[in-house]
Copies of this chain bind each other. A is one copy, B any other.
C-alpha cells in the first residue's frame, strides 16, 4: 500500500474508477449512499465508511464521482457531509460533471475548512473507465493537482490542464459534450439528406470515417446510428439532457448565445417526449430522420 485515499460515489463510472485505484495499490476508503454498490469493491480490499464526513477523518485525499449538482451538494454540505471537518492541507477532487457555478461556490466553502477543491471531470464511458482510458480535465491549484496526479493517472490515459480555477474544467467538460453531441446531429442531418438523395449511407459513412472526420468518436457514433444501436453501453438521453441544461444555464450566465446547443436541447426533449429517454443520446438521430418523413421500424425500439 503506497497511499490511502477516499472515494464517494460508486455508480457506473465511480465503481470502475475506484477499482483502478485499488488495483494500483491504493488503500481505498469508500462511501456510497446505497451500500450494496460498494460490495464488489469491499471484496477487493476497500473499506466502507458510514458517511462522507468520516472519510476526511481517515484520509486527506478524497475523490467524488456523483451524478448531478444535487448529489454533490449533499455529500459536501449535507448532514455528515465531508465539509463537517476542519482539515487543513487536505484535498477534495470532484470528478463529476456538474455546473461551473456550483464548483465556484463549493470552492469557497472548502477554503473555509482549509480544504482545497479540485475539479477534474472526465471524458469517457464506463468501458473507458474500466480500461483506465479516461481523459481527465484538470482544474484547480497547481500544488494540489501535482499531489493527486499519480492517482489520476491510475484512472485515465491522459490529463489536460485548464489552469488554477477549478470551475474552468467544468466549462470545458460541458463544451466537450456539446461538441460530441453536435457531431451526432450533423451526421443525422447529412444521413437524412443522403438517404433521400438515393445515396449509399454505408459508403458515405466510410468516407467520413476514413477521410473527412476520422476520429474514434465520430466513427463510433456513425456506426451506432447506421446500426440503430442505441442500447448497450450507452449514455442515456436523460443524462445528455442534464448536461445540455447545465451548458445552456452556464452559457446563459456568461451571455453566450449557442444556437446549436439550443437545437440539441430541443432534440433531446423531443426524444425523451417520444419515450426514448433510456436510449443512448445519439438516438437524437431519429429527429432529423423523422423531420424528413423517414420512418424506421427501430424508432420504436
Q: Which residues of A contact B (CB under 8 A)?
A: 100, 123, 135, 137, 158, 160-163, 165, 167-168, 171-172, 174-176, 178-180, 182-183, 185-187, 189-190, 192-194, 196-200, 203-204, 206-208, 210-218, 247, 250-251, 254-261, 263, 288, 291-293
Show 12 A/B contacts (Cβ-Cβ < 8 Å), sorted by A.
Answer: A162-B204, A163-B199, A167-B197, A172-B203, A172-B207, A178-B190, A179-B212, A182-B182, A182-B186, A192-B256, A256-B291, A260-B260
A292 to chain B: which residues have CB within 8 Å?
Answer: 254-257
CA distance A40 to B258 in the complex (A): 48
- Closest CB of chain B to A235's CB: distance in Å? 14
Establish whether residues A158 and B210, one from each chain, have CB atoms under 8 Å apart when the complex forms: yes
Interface SS of chain A: helix
Asked if residues A137 and B213 are in contact (CB atoms below 8 Å), the reply is: no
B135 touches A207 (CB 8 A): yes
Contacting pair A193 B163 (CB below 8 A)? no
Please state if B215 and A212 are interface contacts (CB–CB under 8 Å): yes
Q: Are B189 and A258 in contact, CB atoms less than 8 angstroms apart? A: yes
Q: How far is the CA of A218 from the CA of B186 in the complex (A)?
A: 14
> A221 to chain B: closest CB distance in Å?
11
Given A162-B199, A178-B186, A183-B183, A250-B193 contact (CB < 8 Å): yes
Contact (Cβ within 8 A) B203 A162: yes
| Interface pair B168/A179, CB less than 8 Å apart | no
Known: A162-B203, A193-B250, A255-B292. 18 other contacts (CB 8 A): A123-B211, A137-B207, A158-B210, A162-B199, A168-B197, A168-B199, A168-B200, A172-B194, A175-B190, A180-B212, A182-B182, A183-B183, A183-B213, A185-B260, A193-B254, A215-B218, A255-B293, A260-B260
Tell me the smallest distance from the CB of A128 to a CB of chain B, in Å. 11
Which of B158, B174, B215, B263 meets A260, CB within 8 Å? Answer: B263
What residue of chain B has the Cβ atom nearest to residue A181's Cβ?
A: B186
- Give min CB distance, A288 to chain B, whole Å: 8
